Structure 1
């Protein structure tokens, strides 16, 4: 399966260690396609995907970060196979820690398909493949670490796209972001087996 906007050939010889593109990947890609006119309006120069995984999403965009070294290798190969290797810069880091000062208030398009599956807390952040989906209590442990960093990362007109499931308590996420002057929009919803996936968009609240 592939998004018509991103006819991307996915390359990996190690899907035992790297998250293979799945329905949540395609929901994110389809949300970007649906919002393309809005994205084009802001004329993004700096695009960052947190947790690049296979590289399917970021291959047609700009920058990628991942804590999983094998995911970075897979993304690099994916870019090479699709002829955009030089357009993707890879950073090995925990979330955005290594780039926060350098890219302060300069990211125009921020993408995040986090570990969102509710699990035991001790399953979060492990080095095997389960670390790509284990989200801890309510599937929110990684999400809740990431969201407070968004205001210092995004440019004034920057957009954050993030994948969640209903179990993540979406209304709480909305309130959390509203408290730091961001508004939330549900761009796309899709059922995939037992999961009710949503692609959320966040942008700064307009000045009244």
Structure 2
């Protein structure tokens, strides 16, 4: 089964970005960093989600991110599906932090249960078919709105969302141009998907 081993973010200052991700989220091997000045404006077409077990953990991670320099796009709040908020890292990457639970069951921690990469796509049917052709197995599918793939052995799950809807969830305009500033490292080989997201062999993904 195809899996994602890491996500590489192209950032202007890898040292500063590494300091942020280590301090805010405790991420190291899952998120890799590469120096880049590739032109990019507005929404980059993706978000990363940290899924946790309870609202207190959402607050702990968001507070740590803001203390480390992140900007709040959506304050953490209850919703129909649970509890969550959205922040933007200093390098521009948008992070959702969410829990399906609306009540705390224990002391707050910053333990992360799942990392989900959500790609905003123009044509859900085309992108779903493309990824199935690359060996990814569909775990959940809700018509043209959302597709989630099985994670395999990797630490990062992949899901597809319509670009405009994903931007709305993130609290930003869907408009954006230039580089995604993202490379997905997995065992599916090297390719670029219909929306311009690049994949490479996990062994090629650089460590900071």
Question: TM-score, normalised to structure 2's length?
Answer: 0.39
Higher relative contact order (CA 8 A, sep 6+): 2
Question: TM-score, normalised to structure 1's length?
Answer: 0.39
